[in-house]
Each structure stands twice: as C-alpha cells, then as structure tokens.
C-alpha cells in the first residue's frame, strides 16, 4: 500500500510540529510504501499498520 508523502508529512506536522515534518519530508520517498518504508515510518513515530487502517486498506495513490 502506498501513501503520498505529502499526506504523511501533514499528519506528522499536526501531531509533532514543523521540525518533525521537515525531517519526514527529507527522508521519505514521494510515494511511501507502508511495507518497504515501515522502519522509516516507525523512526518518525508512525505506526504503518495504523496508517493502513486509517485509509481503510485502500491506497490513496493511483497506479
């Protein structure tokens, strides 16, 4: 499942502030794969499983 980086960065910005969001923006690819990038997401304080649940198991990235 892929999620656009911008969606994740905004989620981090609202939860943890500008500095954390800036770090995420630099470290994450444009399309974040919840399985491949799971360790990066965890390092940023996000739970990949919760993100998948939040999107109802449906990837907001087309193609």
Kindly state whether residue 21 falls inside one of the protein's structural domains.
yes
What domain range includes position 26? 2-54
Per-residue pLDDT of the chain (63 residues; tens, 9 = 90+): 899 999 999 999 999 999 999 999 999 999 999 999 999 999 999 999 998 888 776 666 644
Q: What's the number of domains the chain is made of?
A: 1
Kindly state whether residue 40 falls inside one of the protein's structural domains.
yes
Kindly state whether residue 14 falls inside one of the protein's structural domains.
yes
DSSP character string of the chain: -EEEHHHHHHHHHHHH-HHHHHHHHHHS-SEEETTTTHHHHHHTT--HHHHHHHTTT--SS--
Kindly state whether residue 15 falls inside one of the protein's structural domains.
yes
pLDDT at position 54: 85
Kindly state whether residue 43 falls inside one of the protein's structural domains.
yes
Q: How far apart are CA 22 and CA 57, in angstroms?
A: 26
Q: How far apart are CA 37 and CA 18, in angstroms?
A: 21
Kindly state whether residue 61 falls inside one of the protein's structural domains.
no
């Amino acid at each position: 499942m892929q999620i656009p980086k911008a969606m994740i960065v905004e989620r981090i910005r609202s939860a943890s502030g500008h500095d954390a969001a800036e770090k995420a923006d630099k470290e994450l690819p444009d399309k974040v794969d919840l399985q491949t990038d799971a360790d990066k997401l965890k390092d940023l304080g996000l739970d990949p499983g919760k993100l998948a649940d939040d999107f109802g198991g449906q990837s907001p990235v087309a193609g």
